[in-house]
Amino acid sequence: MFSQIQSKHRLAFAAFTASFILFLLYLLLDDFLFGEEIRKELRHFVWLRLLVGFLFSGILGVLTFYLLQFNFRSLRSLTQLLQNWTQDVYEDSGEAEREDELGELARHFRIALYQRKAKEENVSQEALGKKERELSDKIQKFFHKVRLHKIKNLDITVFPRSSEKAENDYANIIPTADGCLGIIAGFPNYGALESALKVRLEGMISLAQETTGLRGEDLLYKIDRAIRSTPISYLNLTLFYLETRNGEAGILQYQKLPAFIHRNGNTNVLPNSKQIFYDFRSNQRDVKKVSLKRGEFLVVLSDRLLELSSGNAETHFFPKLQNWSSNKEYKNSRDLTLDFGRFLEAETGKKGLSKAAILTVGRVWD
């Protein structure tokens, strides 16, 4: 029975008992020290003296209980924190600790506990992010392997031909009945979802590649309708077709970086759409048409490059690129792509170049 009583009650009862026993010992000692006459007088007040001792001991026990009550409040909070720590539960008891040593200990332990919680959350988020990056990289590695087909009177280069990094845009060129169709597609962020959406685009392009007898313009419209069938938010997209016979090129673009045409030793910036992301809700297609002569090259770059270059495109990226390629006559699309790659590496470093996607097509004599 006594073992079931709380410690603070036991200590208060022990203080009362010890005080009262000491008072009884004092009475016995008092009777022993005084003479017979005085002892007789004191015996008349023995019950009064016992009552005073009982009250004094009771007051001492109550004060002990009252003081222990405050200390045990901090101990109870500390006990709850220890229990939460062992069970990996992070809940605030809502009890305020006293301004004493035990309260200070409880506060320090609470701070340490929540610092540990924050650290574990950061570690778990980092581990989750790392796993997602690894998964998205694996998805990109499996599907992004460009197989270029020889197309009469066209010179084509795609960089990179294969990619193991999920932040790299998807790029490809496929033959059509009258020329070719090209695509660059990517997202500002990267992850498993974005990689899966690029796989969907790759599936569309793969099916379109098996289609025979379709002109590039018709195929562009079909792919545009197919992409609109499933909303894909925050998609940077450039679709274009090029007719081999007359050099007509139609460009449907939803990204910050416009397309370029390199002609007569100069890199010219083509007009770009005002919409940064692909608008799958709109039925309008703003296909801009240009003419590409023999010996000229159409170049499409990934929007990822703007993230790595300082400033905006109009004031920094475009002039630097134009100055770099000024007065250069490229023999083929491969030379142009390699030279643009050297420019990008000089601007953004090798890390930036690993995120670049460059698609180049030119009209040549077969």
User: Residue 309: pLDDT above 70?
Assistant: no
User: Residue 95: pLDDT above 60?
Assistant: no
Q: Hey, what long-range contacts does 338-342 have (CB within 8 A, 24 or more apart)?
A: 340/299, 340/301, 341/159
Q: What is the pLDDT of residue 2?
A: 47
289's CB contacts (< 8 A; 6+ apart) are 248, 249, 250, 251
Question: 160 preceded by cis ω (within 30°)?
Answer: yes
Rounded distance, CA 339 to CA 344, Å? 9
Burial class (CB in 10 A: 0-12, 13-18, 19+), 231: exposed
CA distances 228 to 224, 284, 344, Å, are 6, 11, 32
Token code pair at residue 4 = 């079931």
161 touches 279 (CB < 8 A): no
Band of residue 135 on the pLDDT scale cut at 50, 70, 90:
low
User: Residue 33: pLDDT above 60?
Assistant: no
User: Residue 276: pLDDT above 70?
Assistant: yes
Closest CA to 139 of 80, 93, 203: 203
| Widest CA span in the chain | 142
SS3 breakdown of the chain: % helix, strand, coil, rounded to 5?
Answer: 55, 15, 30
319's CB contacts (< 8 A; 6+ apart) are none
CB count in 10 Å sphere of residue 78: 19
CB count in 10 Å sphere of residue 331: 10
* Whether pTM exceeds 0.75: no
216's CB contacts (< 8 A; 6+ apart) are 176, 177, 178, 179, 180, 181, 241, 242, 243, 250
Rounded distance, CA 273 to CA 285, Å? 10
196 touches 137 (CB < 8 A): no
Average pLDDT estimate for 213-237: 86
Domains delineated in the chain: 7-73 (no CATH), 143-363 (3.60.40.10)
Taken in order 317, 319, 322, 323, the sign of the CA dihedral is negative
Band of residue 102 on the pLDDT scale cut at 50, 70, 90:
low
Rounded distance, CA 189 to CA 216, Å? 30
Band of residue 1 on the pLDDT scale cut at 50, 70, 90:
very low
